[in-house]
Amino acid sequence: MNFVPVNQPLLDGREKQYLMECVDSGWISSEGPFVKQFETEFAARVQRKHGIAVSNGSVALDAAIAALGIQPGDEVILPTFTIISCAAAIVRAGAKPVLVDADPNTWNMNVEQVAAKITPRTKAIMIVHIYGLPVEVDPILKLAHQYGLWVIEDAAEMHGQTYKGEPCGSFGDISTFSFYPNKHITTGEGGMIVTNDDRLAERCQSLRNLCFQSQKRFVHEELGWNFRMTNLQAALGLAQLERLDEFVQRKRQMGQYYRDRLSDISDLQLPLPSTEYAENIYWVYGLVLSDSVPFDAADVMKQLSACGIGTRPFFWGMHEQPVLLRMGLFYGESYPVAERLARQGFYIPSGMALTEEQMEQVVFALKELFA
């Protein structure tokens, strides 16, 4: 039986055609015309004024934090259950990450815990939409307004998703995306910052391009980075963006397929198909083992691997990261929901190119394991 990889992208649209245009024209750097076009079309898709393409979703967060002027002494509230990129961007700016736990059903940040974490030093709330369902945005926006805080929205896993009908990526003062190959649309590596704010957009454009100045190019008032996206990446991005609606539909069908066949395994918690404000787009199809099971996610993943099924563990909370604990952060803090998700959660193959035969194979292996 063939191995079922946890992710495989689908590149059978106009990807080749646009890439060939890059090669034929010689435009392969970030100066090529597809970059601007991708920025414009992507920003329009999420109803933002500006799109700033960058080299990945992690540096999009670095640039966002820097553009907002977040600095030592500042605090930023974020979920503990997320990818390291979120905390890393805050820590690298010299600021302090302040955590909230996850919701046991949506796996998103527990918005009810945010207010209690606001101090006079809080500058921003970083919301991170997790695994396919959006964060409950309204209470966050209300708090941000009330306390004068920035909202940074990490929408890396949310291409094509909406919250109460409005696109994810349209809620932050700055919002960010990733185009890693396991996201709904991919550029191989890549990311995008979107905003409506002219000044923040200009800051991000400058920061991604070494803070070159237009008049005195090699004289720098500030240190930036080279976070530029290439024309080759943007070519892929444009071809993928053309199919975003189709891709979202595909993911929803996968979610439905798995749900129909796995819901009778009582030891598995499946992703919620919807909340009152959104329908799941299943960035990944996550499973959480019930506490009564005598093994943990690591054991199951090992077993599935032996049956030819690729998996990945869930995020490991920021408050349990050795690198952050060694910096003196989160001493003695505990977030039980995130701790449980990290140990009991994993996700099964759910990439865009997954076939029904492969899903059948995954379901078969899981049924055997839990029989």
Ligand X SMILES: *Cc1c(COP(=O)(O)O)cnc(C)c1O
For residue 350, state whether it binds ligand X (rule: CB under 6 A): no
For residue 85, state whether it binds ligand X (rule: CB under 6 A): yes
Six-digit token pair at 352? 């865009």
Contact call for residues 115 and 90 (beta carbons, < 8 A)? no
Q: What angle do CA 107, 110, 115 make, to 5 degrees?
A: 165
Among 98, 125, 128, 342, binds ligand X (CB under 6 A): 128
For residue 56, state whether it binds ligand X (rule: CB under 6 A): yes
Helices (H), 283-335: 297-306, 322-325
For residue 193, state whether it binds ligand X (rule: CB under 6 A): no
Kindly state the number of chain residues that form the binding site for ligand X, as judged by CB under 6 A. Answer: 13
CA distance 190 to 177: 9
The set of residues, in sequence order, having a beta carbon less than 8 Å from that of 35 and lying 6+ positions away, is 53, 229, 230, 231, 234
Q: Which is nearer to ligand X, 87 or 287 (CB)?
A: 87
Q: Which is nearer to ligand X, 58 or 161 (CB)?
A: 58
Q: Closest distance between ligand X and the C-beta of residue 271, in Å?
A: 15
Among 62, 154, 173, 339, binds ligand X (CB under 6 A): 154
Residue 253: which of 365, 359, 166 has the closest Cα?
A: 359
For residue 83, state whether it binds ligand X (rule: CB under 6 A): yes
For residue 58, state whether it binds ligand X (rule: CB under 6 A): yes
Q: Which is nearer to ligand X, 82 or 162 (CB)?
A: 82
Q: Name the β-bridge partners of 274.
A: 279
Helices (H), the chain: 15-25, 33-45, 57-67, 84-92, 137-147, 198-208, 231-241, 244-262, 297-306, 322-325, 336-344, 356-370
For residue 230, state whether it binds ligand X (rule: CB under 6 A): no
For residue 157, state whether it binds ligand X (rule: CB under 6 A): yes
For residue 178, state whether it binds ligand X (rule: CB under 6 A): yes
Q: Which is nearer to ligand X, 349 or 365 (CB)?
A: 349
Which positions touch ligand X (CB under 6 A)? Answer: 56-58, 82-83, 85, 128, 154, 156-157, 178, 180, 191
